[in-house]
Amino acid sequence: MSPDQHRSIIQQAAAQCGFSYCGISAAAFLEKEAKELEAWLQQGLHGKMQYMENHFDKRVDPSKLVPGAQSVISLMYNYYPPVEQSHENGPKIARYAYGEDYHFVVKDKLREMVSLLEEKIGQFTARIFVDSAPVLEKAWAKKSGLGWQGKNTNIIHPKSGSYFFLAEIICDISATPDGPIKDYCGTCTACIDACPTDALYEPYKIDASRCISYLTIELKDELIPETFHNKMEGWAFGCDICQEVCPWNRFSTPHTDKRLAAKEAIISWNTVDWQEITEEVFKQLFKDSPISRPKWSGFNRNLQFLQKAP
């Protein structure tokens, strides 16, 4: 088969497996991104996420992950919820965490897609990735034309916004690559203006150590720094502010994946309900949820920080 035929089969398989968009890049060394990542790390903008410093060579060279790699298949999987949290006074949960852990959901879709491609193309070498390995997923998504990287650093699709999980299949299939698309942020600075912690300190750049998602999930310290008191805007797990204000997300459409359906507690509980939750109940309710990541101790720390007097 020709690279064009491979590309067509890959796109069809992606759609069949429920991915909203699919793009392909040549599996080459990310020279520009390597320099940008090195500078970002040297400035300490990754906070205490030490794992970001590991496996630098693998992050910028797909052949280190899959020997003989020829293509990076980038995919977008919609997670925009059909329902929202109903209690305005309750702690806020990022929309991606409403349902089952996306690592499990999207990886199952990727395995299904690889099997489908093997039926159509034959055996090939591949590895699948969903935000849990040294892969610069935004860089690959941008290179493959899935969207542009906005001023909030998220990948934005011109027809569907940014509420998507990103995933990759790095493989030795030779497929015709797509190219990047234009940046449509223009003069808009809505995300930068709305960020309460100044994590978006200038267009297209983020100080992760100031991001509410980092503070509520990645930061493992016993206490959240006092400098962020009264700046969390009610977020107990993650943050969607820079997506909520993005004009392109007016095009977002609800997903239909039952595994991502919102847990009743997330949708309906108020502040008192959350304050009364025990560790045992927390573990039972959220054992298959992204919310389990900071564990009970971390999540409870977040709740307590939100409840502190002004």
pLDDT tens-place string over residues 88-137: 778 999 999 999 999 999 999 999 999 999 999 999 999 999 987 889 99
CA dist., res. 84 & res. 100, Å (int) = 16
CA-atom Rg of the chain in angstroms: 20
pLDDT in tens, 213-239: 999 999 999 999 999 999 999 999 999
CA dist., res. 171 & res. 126, Å (int) = 4
What token pair was written down for 186? 């223009």
In the numeric block, the tokens 């890049």 are attached to: 25
**Residues sharing a CB contact under 8 Å with residue 278, sequence separation 6 or more, in sequence order:** none
Q: Annotated active-site positions, please?
A: 131
Length of the chain: 310
pLDDT in tens, 277-289: 899 999 999 999 9
Cβ pair 154, 32 in contact under 8 A? no
pLDDT in tens, 232-263: 999 999 999 999 999 999 999 999 999 999 99
Domain boundaries, the chain: 1-310
Q: Is the pLDDT assigned to residue 86 strictly greater than 90?
A: no
Cβ pair 289, 232 in contact under 8 A? no
